[in-house]
Amino acid sequence: MSTSPSPENLRMQIRRGKHTGMTSGLCQGYVQCNLVILPTAWAADFTQFCLANPKPCPLIATSKPGEFKLPELGLDVDIRTDISSYRVFEDGLLTDERSDIRSLWRDDLVVFLLGCSFSFEEAILAEGLDVRNISEGRNVPMYRTNIDCEPAGPFSGKMVVSMRPFNKPDATRATDISARFPRVHGAPVHYGSPELIGIKDINNPDYGEAVTINSDEEPLFWACGVTPQVALEQAKPPFCITHSPGCMLVTDVLNSNFESK
């Protein structure tokens, strides 16, 4: 197993096209972020959507219009080049997927970075619990629920959740551990009965892949960072850029900085 690079080193590799693809499992210990970029005219409503729905949309940083440097997340960070794959949406439709957005940059674009479940998964693993999607090498299973987000301007939609199964004692511990990380989704929003939150078939997730649930285990559901993407699809802004799934911004911020003590 090779040593993982530092966040700065990984960002440099991504910027130079030497690292492509996902960032999961890399730079353990450091916060990774979901990305949304919107025109200024849409920024205030999206900010309010995030503040009103902090569990699925935990806002970590935002930029001034036109600003692509984010020194608070890493001195060298340039959001136009430091993510390995970007998705470009026009009027809500995916129109492009690319590894560099410098040629698309505009002075009216505002950057939003949102917390990601990697941080609390790492904390759960660190306490010796089994995180099923990791031990089975799959993308975490995610489901659209019947839980309405608080709307804000054009942004609304159902909450998307991710699921990790645990036996009873481990479920309590996983809940307590993730509750200490409110800036990266926090404690589960539901556990036990998928049907109560509108999930018909736990073995058939809407995104990601199903994982094994053993007979002594119950499913725990966490608010998921796909929620803002669903709200964006519905709001259909004229122009929007996000990261491609799994290709996050790797920051210099330690996960431990995000833990409530």
Sheet holding 190-191, edge to edge: 142-148, 158-167, 217-223, 190-191
Q: How far is the CB of 85 from its own copies (least distance, A)?
A: 25
Interaction residues for its own copies, span 106-145 (CB under 8 A):
110
Q: Which secondary-structure segment (H or E) carries 94? A: strand 93-98
- Closest to its own copies by CB, 52 vs 126, is 52
223 touching its own copies, by CB under 8 A? no
Amino acid, single-letter form, for residue 62: T
For the bound state, the minimum distance from the C-beta of residue 44 to its own copies, rounded and expressed in Å, comes to 4
Considering only residues 29, 52, 95, 201, which one is a binding residue for its own copies as defined by CB under 8 A? Answer: 52
- Strands (E) located in the chain: 30-39, 59-62, 86-90, 93-98, 109-115, 142-148, 158-167, 190-191, 217-223, 240-243, 249-254
The structure tokens listed for 218 are 């119950």
Measured CA to CA, the distance from residue 243 to residue 118 in angstroms comes to 15
State which residue, 62 or 139, has the beta carbon closest to its own copies.
Answer: 62
CB nearer its own copies, residue 150 or residue 201: 150
Residue whose tokens read 């285990």: 217
Q: Examine residue 186 and tell whether it contacts its own copies (CB under 8 A).
A: yes
Residue for token pair 């800036």: 183
Cβ contacts of 156 within 8 Å, gap of 6 or more: 148, 149, 231, 234, 235
Phi-psi region for residue 38, left (φ > 0), alpha (ψ -120 to 50) or beta? beta
Residue 212, CB-side half-sphere exposure with 13 Å CA sphere = 10
Among 13-21, 57-65, 118-126, 140-148, the segment contacting its own copies (CB under 8 A): 57-65
Residue 156 touching its own copies (CB under 8 A): no
Report, in Å, the least distance between residue 27 CB and its own copies: 21
| Of 205 and 237, CB closest to its own copies | 237
Stretch that binds its own copies, among 48-56, 80-88, 208-216, 235-243 (CB under 8 A): 48-56
Q: Report the nearest approach of its own copies to the CB of residue 171 (Å).
A: 13
User: Exactly one of 160, 187, 223, 230 binds its own copies (CB under 8 A); which one?
Assistant: 187
Judged by CB under 8 A, the number of residues near its own copies is 28
Give the pair of three-digit tokens for residue 202.
């736990």
Please name which of 221, 156, 106, 122 lies closest in space to residue 131, comparing C-alpha atoms. Answer: 122
Contact call for residue 29 and its own copies (CB under 8 A)? no
Using CB under 8 A as the criterion, which residues of the chain lie in contact with its own copies when the complex forms?
44-45, 47-48, 51-52, 54, 59-65, 67, 72, 110, 150, 152-153, 179-180, 182-183, 186-187, 260-261
